[in-house]
Structure 1
């Protein structure tokens, strides 16, 4: 590992990387029965998986492998989740695909290093077929509500199909694979309902609207806008971009690069080449960058950075941005962040900085005052006449499992328990909600980098091993102890207090209205891998 990275990798990474690179003697993410239950015991136990995106598919594949009966319900008509729903121009992954893929299903035929939406969607479609889970998916079906019956130790789930028909089913356990970023958020701008042209969110792109030659407004400048706005600028008459805060965005030579035939040959034919390549991507894009996120209390420039490493990164990216913007101090002031690097996820420049220099593009940093029939008006009173508005304004990231009504053992809904402050043990389990498991739950987003698929595989392993303990020991339910849950979240908050997302200059979707970081994980990937390796039943009330 040291040789591949040119750095000193701690020994604690060895067990994790042997599994992640599939070099271990057995699959470290599998269930590994100690004593396989009888077919009758398994037949009496049913798991409901909500969602057939990346996380839900991973859970279904592992349940299928373990022989545990399950049903997947998916609101869309196909698998894929994020990669099915997001179809905006330029949509692609911002983590290299040879890491952004299941450890058990490497793909040596990715056409690009950062592949486009259609290639990602095809990958998950192939996984659904190869691992035999498609027949267990009920498409165009949504969970309306789920109520836990403490006497029966089951969840009573109410479902709605696309035709409007509703029905109920029972499940011994629920695995939620709906994630954090699946319900688009459109700001409540004054007068928006009066706008005469089309308005839509980038995550629900309305392709029947022809934007060529039109005056288009883009509200928001996050990760999605970074990808689609440069493409819109090529064909729009004018592009009016309304920005709340700029992003740190760096150059990557491989971002739009095709994977060569020679590279594919190496991945397919040279022993262990693909495995070590995956490790290099892991280290470079995740834990290798972790020290840059930590506050150095003795650092003399806390207003601009956290520590010497963070400041070096700030200067490196700033130099790149200046080289792209050139001699335009007014524009440079708009695009150069004042907060520390990693305060928001560092993006990859998709031609953004060259785009904002175009003669048909305006970058507006004033607040929007109102929307009229044909324009957006900012606080100064200046009007920007537009024919269409595209919102790149993120998601309801704090409203986990919304709009489903999930009611626990005590008869209290999860939305009432959480409000805008969702918390869960390991981001997975919640007191008073037995046998309810969340994937990509609270405080599991990777804000500093890395592949969310890695976190999902850790969570699915943990959940299935919880189910293994229930089935092997003849028990019905697991409920995390409140003191264990609270202690874990106290540690999460303590870690965050010394990290970039809690910086006084930061205001992002990572935080709730009270300033608590509710979305991001504070842990190194190796820490979370260890935490989720095996469940400790003493953390739970078992019944």
Structure 2
């Protein structure tokens, strides 16, 4: 049967990649991973700009420099698998060291000069259906200039724990003393807490690090605790008692978890031992999911042990135990290792306040019971805007996502794509694995997934791709059905949840384990997406074409025309067994797992 006269064969071989322009927002760990994944999978067929609002790269680890700030994931697992660092100084890296690690990678990979534009902030993004492009407004924060830009693909790598906010307290900014936020800590030259009475508001992951870090400096410390929280012992001690005990107990550490010079030297010179160490800890961290399953034997046992630990660290003080040890399920709120935190609260010049704050007055705080507490400084360790609402107007087919998500439960497809927003992807969006161990390696898999989708669009004539509303509805239904079996879905006040029409829904966590998430992203489910195809030869300039197979071209393949590729790759036994493309381009991907598209 002859082809319709209106259809024209594309006079290019199958596999030619359309050149696209990509804009990434944010140069933290996610943005850096995205640059690398694009270079590996999209190769030379793209143009890229990364807009970073800060003066330097690093994201969270550039912004957060409060006293005691460090990661509570072991250093050698809080790094990129493709860029191992053998000379971490501490089992749990301080913020400055993580920031320097990210900056060094940007320098060595040529990212800082070629694609990353610091002091640049995206102000708005509008999807143009006819062009199949995002129209952007960007601010140069150094010059104050605003300019227009556009992109075929827009990737949001700004992160969830990045948009800090002041607590909603009447009179907060009338306070006449020092007022600081944990995510905007002043330079030492501009600020001191020495011999001052200091109030620290909040006992989340920042608050429990700040309290013991500043205690030696202050005259008196007033710690305002809104709700109890589960406080873990140092993860070094936990790991030393689990399946990784043999490896962990062989590591030379001082009392502050610093590696000895000899230990660092062994990491640098013994790759077999180094790999064994990293993988043993990774496996144990990944295996912790069973502990957040409600009423599981692991949770019951861990709850009792942790209750005893906290009581012991609080010297059995009845009031402190009642104030600080939760009655809600272990894991309902983020569990935080906090060495020395509980012990600090037992000191004579530390006052733990469980009452709410009615208002802030010029010289201190007034509690809901009427008590006035005079302080010289207030430290707000009160967290971030975790609503998932974009920080700028993001206008797609269904309107402004800011408005849509402000009045409803945020929903996404596998945490990284949103219905109504074609050619838009995000890292750690709604129901992402934000509480599932190291985000560094998780963002590697997200970046690889996104880059694979872009490559598919480039080589298969797809102008616009977006998850269907039906797919997202089904995925969200699964999440709602699954979460009640976890501690995350139990009753407590937690930033893991969003509230709409009086209903609480877990929106910050993936419905499964860390391995479950990585496994889920290994394969691209094309049936869950909707497509707009490029115009074929008979329809130049139109929004779409009639034939989805226009990309098949003139009958030849780039695999046989490229002199540098193996035109008989399909005879490779490893490729046949794995069912993957074994071309030279894929060999260059190193440790990244490429989704099967």
Give your verdict on TM over 0.5.
Answer: yes
TM class by smaller structure: 0.7 to 0.9
Aligned residues: 491
What is the CA distance between 1:35 and its match in structure 2? 7.2
Q: Which residue of 1 aligns with 2:418?
A: 430
Matched, 1:185 2:165: yes
Match of 1:141 among 117, 120, 124: 120
Q: The residue matched to 1:222 in structure 2 has which SS?
A: coil
**Aligned-partner Cα distance in 2 for 1:446–1:314:** 22
Match of 1:132 in 2: 110
> Gaps spanning 5+ residues in structure 2: where?
1-12, 238-255, 533-597
- CA 1:158 to 1:125, structure 2 compared with 1: closer, same or farther past 3 Å? same
Distance 2:378 2:102 in 1: 31
Query: 1:450 — aligned with what?
Result: 437
The aligned counterpart of 1:225 is: 207
Offset at residue 252 of structure 1 (A): 2.1
Larger Rg: 2
Distance 2:231 2:488 in 1: 17
SS at match of 1:515: strand
Q: In structure 1, what is the equivalent of residue 223 of structure 2? A: 241
Paired residues for 1:196-215 under 5 Å: 196-207=176-187, 208-215=190-197
- Which deviates more, 80-89 or 189-198? 189-198
2:433/2:514 contact within 8 Å kept: no
Which residue is equivalent to 1:441? Answer: 429
Which secondary structure does the structure 1 equivalent of 2:333 belong to?
A: coil
Distance 1:329 1:156, change over 3 A: same
Mapped pair 1:498 → 2:485: yes
Aligned counterparts of 1:371 and 1:269: Cα–Cα separation in 2 = 56
Q: Tell me, yes or no, if the aligned pair for 1:427 and 1:439 is still in contact at 8 Å.
A: yes
Aligned-pair CA distance for 1:36: 5.6
Q: Match for residue 365 of structure 2?
A: 376
Which of these residues, 435, 458, 465, is aligned with residue 478 of structure 1?
A: 465
Matches within 5 A, 1:292-303: 292-295=291-294
Q: Provide closer, same or farther for how the CA distance between residues 271 and 218 of structure 1 changes in structure 2, counting only shifts above 3 A.
A: closer
Q: CA deviation at 1:493?
A: 1.6
Secondary structure of the corresponding residue to residue 174 of structure 1: strand
Could you give the per-residue CA deviations for residues 462-511 of structure 1, whole angstroms, max 9, x where no partner exists?
1000001001112211111111111111111211121111112x111111
CA contact (8 A) 1:461 1:533 kept: no
Point out the more displaced range, 436-445 or 252-261: 252-261
Listed as ranges, the matches of 1:64-79 within 5 Å are 64-65=39-40, 66-67=43-44, 68-79=46-57
Asked whether the equivalents of residues 72 and 235 of structure 2 are also in contact (C-alpha less than 8 Å), the reply is: no
Partner of 1:274: 274
- What secondary structure sits across from 1:477 in the alignment? strand
| TM-score normalized with structure 1 length | 0.87
- Provide the C-alpha distance between the structure 2 equivalents of 1:352 and 1:271, rounded to a whole number of angstroms: 36
Of 105, 108, 126, 2:86 maps to 108
Q: Which runs of 5+ in 1 are unaligned?
A: 1-33, 296-305
Does the 8 Å CA contact 2:388/2:429 hold for their aligned counterparts? no
- What corresponds to 2:582 in structure 1? none
Q: CA deviation at 1:57?
A: 1.0
Indicate if the aligned counterparts of 2:315 and 2:346 stay in contact, CA closer than 8 A: no
1:47 equivalent to 2:22? Answer yes
For 2:177 and 2:369, locate their aligned partners in 1 and report how far apart those are by CA, in whole Å. 23
CA contact (8 A) 2:311 2:317 kept: no
